Structure 1
Amino acid sequence: MSYSAPRGKENITPHPYGKATQMFKLMGFPFTMFCKGCGYGSVAQAICRVYTEEKLQEELYPFIVNIGCYSSMPTVLPGKILMTLHGRGIAVATGVKMANPNIKPISIHGDGDLLSIGTNHFIHGARRNIDMIVILLNNNIYGMTGGQHAPTTPMGSKTSTTPRRYGEQPIDAVELAKVAGATYVARWTTNTMREFMKSFKKAIHRKGFSFIEIVSQCPTQYGSKNALPKALDGFNFIKNNSVRINKAKDMSPDELKGKYIIGEHLEIDRPTLWDRKSELIEKAKE
């Protein structure tokens, strides 16, 4: 149940890194608004490249951006941007989709944003199978507000609110998405950006609720408190603790403890919310 993504020659951003980038360079602003070594800059670049390579029409693929470290992404993202409240991106994207079914919203979230205050919207967005893309940027911490522990913080980690280490079981967003009803689920890291781009392109050209998680290093807040102060430290930590999904199938739970299982975790087809609503409308007309 796939479909061709709407494309158009008009309003296509000519610059692969977003319209604002050239303006910032002329004004003398830094190329990136992120902390030194943060992985979110590479994610933003990959998103811009996919948007340009696929020649996506701005009006049909708006970005919904919430509150978090990544909130400066609109300065470089192409297309139309909707800035919304903390955790409410999927609710806004639902309204956008139901108001105009030709639109494919792309909602970008942080781990605290999506899996704390926004958990309810995440679950019901997947359950309803709304035709949209959710991108989760997971840096294991509340980076923007001072380094507090987040729902994804690994057990045993130090944060500004858990100086004696964190003792709770973290949420596995991939498993939650699968159980809630998402039809495409994948996890990648800042070490596997090409695979992320392939997943993003696949999500663009399919119907249904697509969820893609990207695990990123955070030298400033998470790394500095957990013996990973340099960007390369966090980058290599993620790389060394990532396991491909085909290999993970032959590993025990103890062997997978603390590992990031990367790859495409789920791809199925089922009717979207708009499909079901349209069917009900037609029956009511009869």
Structure 2
Amino acid sequence: MSARSGTNPAAGPRTELPVVPTDAPPACAARLVHDFTPALIDVGAHHLCPGCGEPIAMRSMVEQVEELGQVDRAIAVFGIGCYTAYSNNLDIEVLQALHGRAPSLATGVKRCRPDTLVFTVQGDGDMVNEGLLEVLHTAARGENVTCFMLNNGVFGETGGHMTAATVLGQRTKNTLDGRDAAQHGYPIRLANLIAELDGAAYVARGAVNNAVNITRTNRLIKNAFRTQLEGRGFSFVEILTMCPTGWFVDTVDAPGYLDDALAATHRPGVLKDVRGGTATQNGPNSRKGTAS
């Protein structure tokens, strides 16, 4: 029987495969071939769980800030969640908001400093449960800021409890048998709601569970920033992230779980883009552009 089947393989090397001995230190220590860490991330270590998708999403954001040449103009406003650890790891201006209030704080910053690139970083608990009022009114006013929501469907920092974005059937600390519509109601698809508001100029949803989705999400983030830089109004990107700890799944299974559970309800894609004249998923764009 092989190790893959769940039992230990026979002792001794497998002659048909090259074997890397692990019972002693290697003769040559591993060396760093190239440092791919974005310059704006000045501390490589973080305390987030193995398999968490939030560090990937944070990296995507700062990479786009660098590529757009906005390093000296960027101001981030953080909500409260696991991702808040990065408020000390980024070499840009960062403000800390109270629970759910980041869009309002970002509004004040942008109105005082219209020459800056202002964006919020929030989780689904922070934005949908605690700050739904803030983000909806910010979008409705057409504030020229960008909001990012890292959606893993749980309150990760407080132990993995249900949020308003938790999908039906998803197990959390307080929905051990899965979210039930009759008892807990239905998940809020925030990107879809925001896309219906006339003040929203760009609305999209991405994911970071594989290389293809990360590449697509990078493009969504960059387009959201461009929307702000062009002065077109409110831009919003929801990013589906992994939380194996809060999902009760193994780290290696988390990317697949994201596809099967979250992405089946919160479908990735561009919901609205006045720059390209696209329609929303649920109706025509009544602000600018034409429905495609």
Q: TM-score range by the shorter chain?
A: 0.7 to 0.9
Tell me which residue corresponds to 2:235.
Answer: 210
Tell me which residue corresponds to 1:247.
Answer: none
Q: Which has the higher contact order (CA 8 A, sep 6+)?
A: 1
Matches of 2:152 and 2:222 in 1, distance apart?
23
Cα distance, 1:179 vs. partner?
Answer: 2.0
Amino acid at match of 2:42: A
Alignment pair present for 1:188 and 2:214: no
Tell me which residue corresponds to 2:38.
Answer: 16
Tell me which residue corresponds to 1:140.
Answer: 153
Matches of 2:138 and 2:171 in 1, distance apart?
32
Matches of 1:139 and 1:127 in 2, distance apart?
25
Tell me which residue corresponds to 1:157.
Answer: 170
Matches of 1:17 and 1:148 in 2, distance apart?
34
Q: Which runs of 5+ in 1 are unaligned?
A: 1-14, 26-30, 244-257, 270-286
Matches of 2:165 and 2:265 in 1, distance apart?
13
Matches of 1:241 and 1:157 in 2, distance apart?
7
Cα distance, 1:200 vs. partner?
Answer: 1.4
Cα distance, 1:138 vs. partner?
Answer: 0.2
Identify the match of residue 264 of structure 1 among 261, 270, 277.
Answer: 270
Identify the match of residue 42 of structure 1 among 56, 59, 72.
Answer: 56
Tell me which residue corresponds to 1:61.
Answer: 74
Q: Indicate if the aligned counterparts of 2:162 and 2:172 stay in contact, CA closer than 8 A.
A: yes
Tell me which residue corresponds to 2:250.
Answer: 230
What percent of counterpart residues are identical?
28
Tell me which residue corresponds to 1:169.
Answer: 186
Amino acid at match of 2:133: N
Amino acid at match of 2:245: T
Tell me which residue corresponds to 2:245.
Answer: 220
Cα distance, 1:237 vs. partner?
Answer: 2.3
Cα distance, 1:262 vs. partner?
Answer: 1.3
Cα distance, 1:19 vs. partner?
Answer: 4.9
Matches of 1:74 and 1:166 in 2, distance apart?
32
Residues 1:259 and 1:116: Cα distance change in structure 2 (over 3 Å): closer
Runs of 4+ aligned structure 1 residues displaced above 6 Å come to none
CA RMSD of aligned residues (A): 2.0
Residues 1:162 and 1:19: Cα distance change in structure 2 (over 3 Å): closer
Q: How many residues align?
A: 228
Tell me which residue corresponds to 1:51.
Answer: 65
Tell me which residue corresponds to 1:239.
Answer: 259
Tell me which residue corresponds to 1:281.
Answer: none
Secondary structure at the counterpart of residue 161 of structure 2: coil
Higher CA-based Rg = 2
Q: Indicate if the aligned counterparts of 1:242 and 1:262 stay in contact, CA closer than 8 A.
A: no
Cα distance, 1:151 vs. partner?
Answer: 0.5
TM-score under structure 2 normalisation?
0.73
Residues 1:163 and 1:237: Cα distance change in structure 2 (over 3 Å): closer
Tell me which residue corresponds to 1:199.
Answer: 220
Alignment pair present for 1:78 and 2:91: yes
Cα distance, 1:75 vs. partner?
Answer: 3.1
TM-score under structure 1 normalisation?
0.74
Cα distance, 1:33 vs. partner?
Answer: 2.3
